[in-house]
Amino acid sequence: MSKGLSRSISRGGLATQPITKQNIQVVETVNVADGAPGFGTTVIAALPQGNLLFLGAVAYLQFTTADADIIAAFDGDYSLGTVATVDGDVADANEADLVPSTAFGAATAKVSPLIRGVSTDALGGGIIDNTAGDKNINLNVLIDDTSISGAAAFTVSGSVHIAYIVLGDD
């Protein structure tokens, strides 16, 4: 049996794959501004250009800090979306269009539990218009007001698994 076109396509760029599954290893710093609550964003990956049929995502993330402005048992939420948060809410439109707002659970000694966040049926099957090629996977973070007393930096580590289909471009 010849290898042919199917093998060529399987080795091509993300936009030529029938279904793209990305496993993204995350080791990033997110700077959280003080507020009521504190919030911040970091980009963890770029999305390919085109019309993307979003199939789903699962994230396993852990947050750590040594910052004196954060209590040892800090708590908060995170979401994954195609836009960055600009306020103390990580559930606004497109801030949570990949993985909805997911609670941390209380940290121990400034280390959160490993938090599993999953996309919902309502999110899967939607079209993400990235024909301009400017959309990213944004990790949006909220730290509860009772857990933060000043701007702080968090290290986030873990993995994000995402699946989508590129349905052409303009």
Q: What is the pLDDT of residue 150?
A: 95
129-141 per-position pLDDT tens digit: 999 999 999 999 9
28-71 per-position pLDDT tens digit: 999 999 988 999 999 999 999 999 999 999 999 999 999 999 99
Residue 1 vs residue 145, higher pLDDT:
145
- pTM (global) more than 0.85: yes
Tell me whether the omega of the peptide bond preceding residue 113 falls within 30 degrees of 0, making it cis: no
Q: Which fold has domain 17-166?
A: Jelly Rolls (2.60.120)
pLDDT at 6 over 70: no
Q: What is the DSSP string of 42-85?
A: EEEEEPPSEEEEEEEEEEEEEEE---TTB-TT--EEEEEESS--
77-120 per-position pLDDT tens digit: 999 999 999 988 999 889 999 999 999 999 999 999 999 999 98
